Structure 1
């Protein structure tokens, strides 16, 4: 796979800033419709080449709740169309994600089902040779799966990426707003902020570096709700296998509030370009070539 093709597959990971799943609802769970850490490792502020891509991020986590641990597996299959159109000088991207979730809370039997699907549009600007910024706006549609978040919400995401010298230095801020903050079962869904951070470097086909993410519930008008938050750190390794790019990382909470315990989570991401436009003008800088997020809350 040449540098431009590899870059295309890697940068497609940006689609994951549109990929999300609903977190588990209930007394011990928070209300982030976007999975904290879901865009870790991705140059989400960079401009995508024109093309159609598929990406899936799968993660498995265990939280140290008592008397038994809480486990969750989340899959985020996503399709992205990086269109040939521009708006306000930015590349227009369209994305859709349908999460599939399974969880066991404090040793209870596993439940599985679909999470809230996301449809989103993103504008990505290339500012200079090695710097880009992006803005995503999307909507999560309601579902009837009771053990996950059920309500509709809006998502705003603001990202910046520096990609010079083989680096991927990215910050992505995710702001979620619920249209209705109360579920049919009476669960409170507060608005939220998530922050995903990446600092990796390429060595040939390999990519390695530290990653981190944080999340917090915003203040709510409902008295008695215990706001939740966390901050996790970890390490990432990626490798380019040719047409398929893989990326794996492990994270661990260093701070948590009202979750009942710290979480350790392993992540695996696969990126497959279905179609991409074969033009040099659409290709981003090869300096970020390589392989391009659900925490049980």
Structure 2
């Protein structure tokens, strides 16, 4: 579905995964938020708006828990290269609304993510990337509140219209205890994509998993999940849309299985040095996610 030379690593959201019990916390980066993206490849030079939104219901008892997460981000793929990799910067500001166990909805801004990324095109349709950033502290009580050092490692094969991507997301908390006493364990997420493009249409399978890392606290109940789903996307020109649905097939200490619908919009905004009337350096209407 879409941009020559694109190949993005969408960076992540800061949201506590709505669960079952105030003493447990989920991954600071929402599991599944990067599936569908060839995260190992560099973007073509320019500025991009990427928004991924999801709504899910977890079948907790006695009432279901609902969680909506919206992840608007700006990514700048700079003209600069470091170690022969494209240097990219990301700013992401999550917004979340949650109703755990049938309670009244609460909403607010999540942790802002600031990150820099190096993305290499290794040739033969293979790319890798590394992202380093941090989630900033948040005063919103319904999300994770403590700062997080965040790293991402991705590898992508994108030959013959395929997008085969594995994306690891790793978070380390600077302080593992929130102002209200909630314990925050370090976490590891894995987002997986296997899709195929047929012209402007893209279809395929996705999956993701997340787990709290060992804490050394015998009383802490570590959380984890694994979900699978299907994706469909379409290139409408400069704007690309993807939609996917996922369902947990395994979970640990979340209190129930999550079913979630996702929608993503990818909009190239052009280069930062574009001038009005400049047709040479203006926004390029190349399709996103297609190989160069």
Q: TM-score, normalised by structure 1?
A: 0.89
Distance 1:249 1:28, change over 3 A: farther
Identify the match of residue 166 of structure 1 among 161, 164, 187. Answer: 161
1: CA distance, partners of 2:53 / 2:6: 18
Q: Which runs of 5+ in 1 are unaligned?
A: 291-297
Say which structure is richer in helix: 1
In the alignment, does 2:102 pair up with 1:107?
yes
Q: Is the 8 A contact 1:53 1:271 kept in 2?
A: yes
Which segment drifts farther, 214-223 or 248-257? 214-223
Q: Which runs of 5+ in 2 are unaligned?
A: none
Identify the match of residue 149 of structure 1 among 138, 144, 151. Answer: 144
CA apart distance, 1:31: 2.9
Distance 1:114 1:56, change over 3 A: same
- How many residues are aligned here? 280
CA apart distance, 1:78: 0.1
Query: Equivalences for 1:161-240 in 2 at 5 Å?
Result: 161-240=156-235
Q: Is the 8 A contact 1:20 1:35 kept in 2?
A: yes
SS at match of 2:269: strand
In the alignment, does 2:7 pair up with 1:7?
no
SS at match of 2:6: helix
CA apart distance, 1:254: 0.2
For CA contacts below 8 A with separation 6 or more, give which structure has more relative contact order: 1
In the alignment, does 2:12 pair up with 1:19?
yes
CA apart distance, 1:286: 7.6
1:42-100 CA distances to partner (integer Å, 9 max, x unpaired)?
00001211000101000000000001000010000000000000111110000000000
CA apart distance, 1:223: 3.0
Which residue number corresponds to residue 290 of structure 2? Answer: 289
Q: Is the 8 A contact 1:231 1:254 kept in 2?
A: yes
2: CA distance, partners of 1:154 / 1:51: 26
Runs of 4+, deviation exceeding 4 Å: 276-280, 285-288
1:162-193 CA distances to partner (integer Å, 9 max, x unpaired)?
00000000000011000000000000000000
Q: TM-score, normalised by structure 2?
A: 0.91
1:193-240 CA distances to partner (integer Å, 9 max, x unpaired)?
000000000001100000000000001133311001000000000001
SS at match of 2:3: helix
2: CA distance, partners of 1:60 / 1:29: 21
CA apart distance, 1:111: 0.1
Which residue number corresponds to residue 46 of structure 2? Answer: 51
SS at match of 1:106: helix
Q: Is the 8 A contact 2:154 2:165 kept in 1?
A: yes
1: CA distance, partners of 2:155 / 2:84: 16
